[in-house]
Amino acid sequence: MYKDKIDFFLQEISKKCNDEKADNISLNIGSSYYSLFYNNDVEIERIEDLIDLASEDIQYSFATGSLAVLYFMRLLYNSDIITDEDIESIEEDSIDFFLELINIYADKKEYDLFTGLIGLGLYFLEIRKFDTVAKIVSYLDHMKHEHNTSFFWIDNITKEENTCDLGLAHGLPSIISFLSECYHHDCEKEICEKLIRGGVNFLIELYNENKDAQHIFPSKINVITGKKLPSNRLAWCYGDLGIAVCIWKAYTVLKDEELKAISLAIILNSARVRIDNSGIFYSTKNDCIDTGFCHGSSGISHIFNKFHRIFEHEELKEARDYWMAITLKELDKGTKFPYDLKNDVWKEHTGLLEGISGVGMVLLDYQYPHKAKDWDKIYLMNIE
Binding-site annotation, residues for Zn(2+): 237, 294-295
- Residue in 209, 207, 180, 174 with CA at minimum distance from that of residue 193: 180
- Residue in 340, 333, 335 with CA at minimum distance from that of residue 362: 335
Residue 130, CA distances (Å) to 189, 302, 383 in order? 12, 30, 21
Q: Rounded CA gap, 203 and 219, in Å?
A: 12
Helix (H, G, I), strand (E, B) or coil at 338: strand
Q: Rounded CA gap, 227 and 41, in Å?
A: 49
Greatest Cα pair distance in the chain: 56
Where residue 355 falls (left for φ over 0; alpha for ψ -120 to 50; beta otherwise) is beta
Annotated binding-site ranges? 237, 294-295
Cβ-in-10-Å burial (0-12, 13-18, 19+) of 135 comes to buried
Residue 173, CA distances (Å) to 107, 170, 210, 339 in order? 21, 8, 18, 26
- Residue 346 parent element (H or E): strand 345-347
